[in-house]
Amino acid sequence: MDAKSPHIKNRDTPQWGLYQRNMFWKYNEGELPPFNTHPDVLERLASRKLSQNGYLYASSNAGLSHTHLANRQAFFRHKLVSRQLVDTNERSTRTKLFDNGKWEVSAPFGIAPVGINKIYHDRGELAVAKAAGELGLVYSLSTAGSYPIEEVGAAHDEGRANRFEEAKKNVGDGNEEKVPEAPRFFQLYMPHDDELTLSLLKRAHEAGFEACLLTTDTAQLGWRHDDVATSNYAFYRGIGGELGFTDPVFQKRMAEQGVDPQKDPVRAATMWIDTIWHGRAWSWEKAVWAREKWQEIAGKDKPFLIKGIQSVKDAKKAADLGFEGVVVSNHAGRQVDGAVGSLDALESIVKAVGERKGFTVMFDSGVRGAADVMKALALGAKFVFIGRLWIWGLAIMGEEGVRHVLRSLLADFDILMNVMGVRSVEEIDGSLLESGPRVYGLLNEKSKL
């Protein structure tokens, strides 16, 4: 933790691991770190801050939570094998996204798209986008977001503009100007209204979102016992429809139905969510149409990925049809109960399409720390999305809570690379893993983590 190491100036990012040193030093200044970032402590602290319904919406899973459990079990069968006496002093956590290296980011992980952040904190998506921008991390906005697309883009820009100052304040190693300007992605839940779909894509492009993720696993919510039992659906309470209310096409649709969101927010928010989580299936042909329209609006160089892929057959089809990639995800176990662990699906999908030129395999579901990120990368993912960790941070302490969780994850990953003997993200491969066979027996004690 030598803050004066001569190697720091040769690194291409701040020495993120110094955040650990700064947290240790706080006691000498009469302070302590904001909160413990161990996942189970995060969840416990967040549960004390949130309403019952807020907590249940964030923590509930499909059915008996067996897919959620399988996601964690899949990580347990892979063990990291460290290398010794490797000069990691000038290691790099930086990552280039997509085959053309179009964007560089601080680390190979970033913000997963999560809806209605306003139920966790008043500033919702604005707080998360700003923190991600400050740290040079990818931010992804959900169509089910609770702030307008334009305001979220502006918050991310504010964070990006402040990234050097933030690094100087919280790392302070002289490398603050090496924080990259990370892109932001827009996650699309595609309405059964082509004009509205095009309006959402146009707004996302004009607000600076540079890639589109089409989520295909959530035409409607999976059966989540806790949410059903408590009548827990924020949109049906009039909460979270602002992204839709500010859309010109949806404003026209509301006017046609005589709905005024100011006077009847419940009816308006219900109309909005029933438009995007509509319960009607899509086809591959419509997904191809959405990609074509996105690239007509944003440009041929703006990637369009399918999020929610679990089968090799689907991954191959996405590659064959020209999509720029897939996000291997089972929606964190919130959609299909009794499904394969997402990390197990990743392993199979990478073997099938991981070497396809111009095709990027990303990963989501079940990640709880830097070791999980490294395991997913070692199995062939090029990028990893993080969800529940920063949700808990947002609930605990708003923007500063998200920032603390993300800084801690950056420090964890930086330190892990150091103690694993890894000098760059490109060096992370299967040789770092010792893996057991796939086992789908349930653990005796079910974890919510």
Predicted confidence at residue 441, as pLDDT, reads 64
CA distances from 20 to 1, 129, 171, 215 (A): 8, 23, 9, 36
The span from the CA of 212 to the CA of 184, in Å, is: 9
> Average pLDDT for residues 243-247, to the nearest whole number?
98
Predicted confidence at residue 401, as pLDDT, reads 98
Torsions phi, psi for 5 (to 5 deg): -55, 135
* Active site (annotated) includes residue 205: no
What does the pLDDT look like over 216-232, one tens digit per residue?
Answer: 999 999 999 999 999 99
More confident residue, 119 or 2: 119
Sheet with 139-142, strands from edge to edge, namely 109-111, 383-386, 360-363, 325-328, 304-309, 211-215, 184-188, 139-142
Give percent above pLDDT 90 in the chain: 91
> Average pLDDT for residues 163-177, to the nearest whole number?
76
Indicate the pairing of strand 139-142 with strand 109-111: unpaired
Predicted confidence at residue 447, as pLDDT, reads 47
What does the pLDDT look like over 318-359, one tens digit per residue?
Answer: 999 999 999 999 999 999 999 999 999 999 999 999 999 999
Q: Is the pLDDT of residue 444 over 50?
A: no
Predicted confidence at residue 349, as pLDDT, reads 98
Predicted confidence at residue 99, as pLDDT, reads 80
Give percent above pLDDT 70 in the chain: 97
Length of the chain: 449
In 374-425, DSSP assigns E strands to 383-386
Q: Which residues on adjacent β-strands are paired with residue 78?
A: 435
Q: Is the pLDDT of residue 409 over 50?
A: yes
Contact between 95 and 427 under an 8 Å Cβ cutoff? The reply is: no
The span from the CA of 402 to the CA of 2, in Å, is: 26
**Which of 68, 156, 331, 404 is labelled catalytic?**
331
Residue 389 CB neighbours (<10 A): 21
Predicted confidence at residue 439, as pLDDT, reads 76
What does the pLDDT look like over 363-373, one tens digit per residue?
Answer: 999 999 999 99
Q: Which amino acid is at 324?
A: E
What does the pLDDT look like over 99-110, one tens digit per residue?
Answer: 877 799 999 999
Predicted confidence at residue 259, as pLDDT, reads 98
pTM for this entry: 0.96
What does the pLDDT look like over 4-58, one tens digit per residue?
Answer: 889 989 999 999 999 999 999 999 999 999 999 999 999 999 999 999 999 999 9
For the record, the structure tokens of 162 come out as 């402040």
Q: Radius of gyration over alpha carbons of the chain, in Å?
A: 21
With vertex at residue 329, the alpha carbon angle to CA 286 and CA 71, rounded to the nearest 5 degrees, is 155
Q: Exposure string (b/e) for 284-323, b if CB count within 10 Å is 16 or more?
A: eebbeebbebbbebbeeebbbbbbbbbeeebbbbbbeeeb
What does the pLDDT look like over 68-85, one tens digit per residue?
Answer: 999 999 999 999 999 999
What does the pLDDT look like over 291-313, one tens digit per residue?
Answer: 999 999 999 999 999 999 999 99
What does the pLDDT look like over 197-207, one tens digit per residue?
Answer: 999 999 999 99
End-to-end CA distance of the chain: 30
